[in-house]
Structure 1
Amino acid sequence: MSPTQPLKSRAATHRLVCRATALAVAAGSVLAVSGTAVAHDRPAHARHAHQATYRVDSAQLATGLYQSAYSERHHVLWATTAVGRPPVKQSQLLKVDPKTLKVKAAYTPPVTDPATGAVEAVYGVAVDDEHDTVWTTNTRNNSVSVYSQRTGKHLASLPNVAHAREITVDERHNLAWASGFGDGSLVAFDTRTFKEKKRVKVEGAGTAGVAVDKRSGTAYATDLNNNRIIAVSPYKSEPRFIPTGAGPIGIALSANGRTAYTADQKDGMLSIVDLRKGAVTKTVPTGAGALSVDADHRSGRVFVANRGTGTTTVVDPKKGTVLADLATGPNPNHVTVHRGTAYVVDKSAAGADRIDSVHRISLTRSH
């Protein structure tokens, strides 16, 4: 997934923290670390005005981790893995126990080329608990797929999503929205019939992260090429464009759907965007290569995975302050939040056979 290649870290101290974490994870199956922060070179007003203590539990999971999604129906964490460049022969959809951080089941995507052994490698992932399915993006195959949550069976492959990067599910409106980075498209599929329902293509765009307001049904995609958000309503033919920070790649929405949060890869920022006004209201420095973002709809806190610095930053978006920076392995690639707990997958390749890790972040106390 070429758009996920980050800026290089400029902070040697962060590299040392990440290496120490990787060594500790490699030494055992689960590592628990508690802490408040790892300091960045950021303005004083953006530092830890209100510190919080978090527990980070880490475990080696699999080689080639990309993204994860939580199923409340089954209380499992789904994660994707893919190794190498085309023809990709090693890829799995993993069912992970969120308590033990161990793999409960692993499913291999279907073979696409018997001559080479290439498979329909999975990268992005989203859960549809309403219909008991898992949706994946198959970036190298320009498609998305659907799997059964109960059995792991491959149910369908849906083509023509150019360099499919991310996917999200709107259970209320029975739609799965996928971003096609290759041609600047945003594509919606019916989660019941798997048929394509809507396609919007923006010339020159690089659609990357995608989120959906489940109240209005509006989908929002970051445009990595043009420093903006593309908003697509299921009821309108023309998209709306909303400016955001430099190099936006990940996106999440507030609980009420009125605010968007973008992880801005180019300048290592979190942008807080008022969607009604169509303007950035705050920016918070988080770390080099800010890549993925998710919001906790219970507390309002926002989590940003910074691939360059090897940290995940916790932000209070109302105050625009950083609550904590937590070491989450070299090259954290994706963060997802469920009921106050964040799960971060990295591309550390720190263990034997280049194993990557998963990190669970939970709040222990605040002051």
Structure 2
Amino acid sequence: MIKHAHTNRRNAGILAASIAFAVAGLNNQAHAQQVEKSSRAGSGIYEAVVNSNDGHIYVTGAGTRSTPGGAIYKINPETLAIVDSIVLKDNPPFGIGINNKTNIAYTTNTRTNSVSAVDLKNGKLLATFSNGSEKSHVREVLVDEAKNLIYVSNVGDPSDIWVIDGKTNTVLHTIENTGKTTTGLAFNDKKDKLFVTNMGTNEVAVIDLASKKVEKSFSSGGESPVNIVAEGERLFVTNQKSGTVTVLNSKTGEVLKSIPTGEGAIGIAYDKKTNKIYSANRSTGTTTVIDGKTYAVLADLATGSHPNHVKVDPKTGVAYVINKTKGGRPVEGQPAPGPDTNGDTISKIK
């Protein structure tokens, strides 16, 4: 009898543990992030910002080859419906950053080698300007809200970075020789250092903003590093050619982890609220969700034709992915491709 009682207690313990494990698994599945919805978000869309003043998503659109144009589209964060637009047809926007304190957005207008400042409160174009160079290829925008300074990467060999005064909307100065094909930009916590990705050399450069010079460079841990975000002493880098997100020590450059995501990893975002990393993978049509503690891949979500950019609302932890449309010129003698229903869309991940 004693033996049977002991066996029954052991079996009951095993059963309870199994049930607890199953329930935990179901809870994890229930809380696994999913694409809640996707919706059309404009024409030739490229990047986005979250406006903390009104809670809306602002998406840049540069039009198409056959129908050139330009606009910033205002998107409802719940329904993903376009509720308004700001026409910028003379200078079609690609990259975008925002100063939430002044409610002014800054766009990089690659086709016209310029930057535009737009008041999001009234939709007014405040200024469009450049640094005076004949050849430019402006790309990413990073804003220091406290100092009202805007940093813009200008891709080249060598590249440089424009530093813009948000009070006057003019270029204060240019940080020269930042590397070959400088694209992504990120601040350290004190905002006295700038981390930039150099696609041409597969490196991350560290720029001292006081001296306006590159202090050092180290390997990105992958091929063709495009974008970068910083969190404490960690850097998260998307490497487009190798299809990875690498985690680097921002002080030493040590590669802490290399995480396979998908071909064409390009957009990157980090959410402090949930400690998750997001990688938009242009070639695979997926967005990868990564645990910021263990670096485990939590999900690979199909979001659209060419996921290009991802932003997280810091208040809600909701991620928004910008999906480019399929490109390519018509081929003579072949029928024109049909409409891309999964491109020019914004996807909401919760």
Give the TM-score, by structure 1 length. Answer: 0.77
Question: What is the SS of the residue equivalent to 1:140?
Answer: helix
Q: 1:189 aligns with which of 143, 149, 164?
A: 164
Distance of 1:211 and 1:102 partners within structure 2: 30
CA contact (8 A) 1:88 1:121 kept: no
Question: What is the SS of the residue equivalent to 2:288?
Answer: strand
Match of 2:219 in 1: 243
* Paired letter, 2:192: G
- Is structure 2 residue 145 aligned with structure 1 residue 171? yes
Higher relative contact order (CA 8 A, sep 6+): 1
Gaps of 5+ in 1: 1-49, 111-118, 363-367
Distance of 1:147 and 1:100 partners within structure 2: 24
Q: 2:102 aligns with which of 131, 142, 159?
A: 131
Moved more, 306-315 or 89-98: 89-98
Change (3 A) 1:259 1:203: closer
Moved more, 209-218 or 62-71: 209-218
Q: 1:223 aligns with which of 175, 184, 198?
A: 198
Moved over 6 A (4+): none
Match of 1:99 in 2: 78
* Paired letter, 1:264: N
CA contact (8 A) 2:320 2:347 kept: yes
Distance of 2:257 and 2:343 partners within structure 1: 37
Match of 1:358 in 2: 346
CA contact (8 A) 1:225 1:247 kept: yes
Gaps of 5+ in 2: 1-27, 327-337
Q: Describe the superposition over 1:138-185 as per-residue Cα deviations: whole angstroms up to 9, x where unpaired.
A: 111111110001111111112137200110111122211110013511
Count of residue pairs brought into register by the alignment: 302
- Name the Cα RMSD after superposition: 2.1
* Paired letter, 1:269: T
Moved more, 122-131 or 190-199: 190-199
Larger radius of gyration: 2
- Is structure 2 residue 248 aligned with structure 1 residue 302? no
In the TM superposition, 1:144-155 aligns within 5 A as 144-155=115-126
Distance of 2:101 and 2:217 partners within structure 1: 31
Question: What is the SS of the residue equivalent to 1:54?
Answer: coil
Give the TM-score, by structure 2 length. Answer: 0.81
In the TM superposition, 1:29-178 aligns within 5 A as 53-56=32-35, 57-85=37-65, 89-109=68-88, 119-160=90-131, 162-178=136-152
Match of 1:344 in 2: 321
Identity of aligned residues (%): 30
